[in-house]
Chain A
């Protein structure tokens, strides 16, 4: 709850007079949101570049041409090209995404942002929205990181359970793909909600902090 003193100061300093403190996006939420948005595009594009070298999915430890598979995407096999820069970009962006995600998650816990906005009922988000955000932040994103780690032959030498608990290296790859699809679906839903509630207003709010113009 803002004190009278700080409400007076913010009315003087910013054009956000009259907007309750509780329904504005904090600076850390806004900064991490846009870094996350860029990371999302970087990871989807580079993930696709890796995938297209071998757009076929398996279950268990191993799989390749000539072995049983789960499903295949109707895409050409592009060998020896995009997967190179794709993997380089994927890991560069993954570092940024994970670091950014940790800053967001820690600050959200410390400032009680998660509790105020996503756990307890509030005027900003209904129960479905809160559940969607919570499951993406604490479920899907950690799962994507985990399934990514599970494909690393070096990291699984440190902790084999990373991959054995998922049923094998190829299972990890398939699950990583499904989780990525789920994130893309969430993104489409997120954009639809932003449109439905006024794209310009929400877009500016995520830049300047104001939710109700």
Chain B
């Protein structure tokens, strides 16, 4: 091999490596800028979580709508995982039609809110009949009624630089890790189907399904539709909460993003 060809090869390899490094840096910058890295991007599965989440955010930038169904398709049996909180407080509130229950909205908002169930029901209501699949494999179709999360975000004046809405809830009975909590990115928080639901199939939300209030995110698996809500926090970082992975689900071995 002559000196000229080896020098050419070296130059070509160098240029290739530089282009590759620049490409990677640009890609990294872009996916970070456009919020395509999920909070649980650490660990052995982090690359897979990131690829799936980024692909979905690239493929669905226009807030595509989850399928909606006909009233005749509503399931007669709607299973649940996790039982209503076993605390005396919860039982007392439930016996009283949740008159004493309040939802707190705080964090990066212009106007922090404390809302009663009556307040929530006085806002414009939206219903949708959607499919809800548990990550275990079973599923049902149900009608959810509530107020759009976007309405609450507007009411509270969510900061434009906010990146997540955190959800906190009462501990379910027998839940080994106590309280469940989670978060949605702003794409799903502002999504026109993301409801704070107080009704199901034309009735008040049953205790098993998260009374008095749950979130419904029909583009994600069931575990993202957190039940027994008590507090929403608008934030630009999930780092301060738990291990910083965005919800309690990654700490139990499940992914943060549930769009699969």
Contact = CB atoms under 8 A, between A and B. Distances in A.
Interface of A: 50-51, 53-54, 56, 58, 61-67, 79-81, 83-85, 87-89, 91-95, 151-158, 160, 163-164, 169-170, 173
Contact of B131 (A81, A154, A169): A169
Given A153-B219, A157-B219, A169 B133 contact: yes
B260 A67 contact: no
Interface hub of A64, A89, A164 (most chain B Cβ within 10 A): A64
B64 A157 contact: yes
Contacts of B221: 153
11 contacts: A51-B137, A58-B138, A61-B131, A62-B140, A64-B140, A81-B253, A88-B49, A153-B258, A154-B219, A158-B64, A169-B131
A102 B231 CA distance: 46
Contact of A64 (B48, B56, B79, B135): B79
Interface of B: 44-45, 47-49, 51-52, 56, 59-60, 64-67, 69, 73, 75-79, 81, 131, 133-141, 218-221, 252-255, 258-260
Contact of B259 (A62, A92, A152, A163): A152
Nearest to B73: A61
A120 to B, nearest CB: 37
B77 A66 contact: yes
Q: Please provide the 6 A-B residue pairs with the shortest distance between their CB atoms, ordered closest to farther.
A: A92-B48, A154-B259, A84-B253, A64-B138, A54-B137, A88-B45
B220 A154 contact: yes
B218 A67 contact: no
A158 B59 contact: yes
B48 A154 contact: no
A63 B65 contact: no
Nearest to B51: A95
A155 B59 CA distance: 8
Contacts of A79: 81, 136
Contacts, number: 125
A83 to B, nearest CB: 6
Contacts of B135: 53, 83-84, 87
Given A66-B79, A151-B260, A153-B259, A88 B48 contact: yes
A128 to B, nearest CB: 35
A65 B78 CA distance: 9
Contact of B252 (A80, A87, A157, A170): A80
Contacts of B76: 67
B134 to A, nearest CB: 8
B77 A64 contact: yes
Contact of B45 (A65, A66, A89): A89
Given A81-B253, A154-B220, A163-B67, 20 more contacts: A61-B139, A63-B138, A64-B79, A64-B134, A67-B76, A84-B254, A89-B45, A91-B48, A91-B49, A91-B51, A92-B45, A93-B48, A95-B52, A153-B220, A155-B59, A156-B66, A157-B67, A158-B59, A158-B60, A158-B64
A64 B221 CA distance: 15
A20 B254 CA distance: 51
Contacts of A155: 56, 59, 259
A95 B48 contact: yes
Interface hub of A56, A89, A92 (most chain B Cβ within 10 A): A92
A154 B60 contact: yes
A170 B81 CA distance: 19
Contacts of B45: 85, 88-89, 91-92
Contacts of B136: 53-54, 79, 83
Contacts of B69: 61
A58 B140 CA distance: 12
A50 B260 CA distance: 13
Nearest to A168: B131
Contact of A85 (B59, B60, B141, B253): B253
A98 to B, nearest CB: 10
Interface hub of B133, B137, B220, B255 (most chain A Cβ within 10 A): B137
B252 A50 contact: no
Interface hub of A79, A87, A89, A154 (most chain B Cβ within 10 A): A154
B140 A91 contact: no
Contacts of B81: 79-80
B260 A64 contact: no
Contacts of A158: 59-60, 64
Nearest to A64: B138
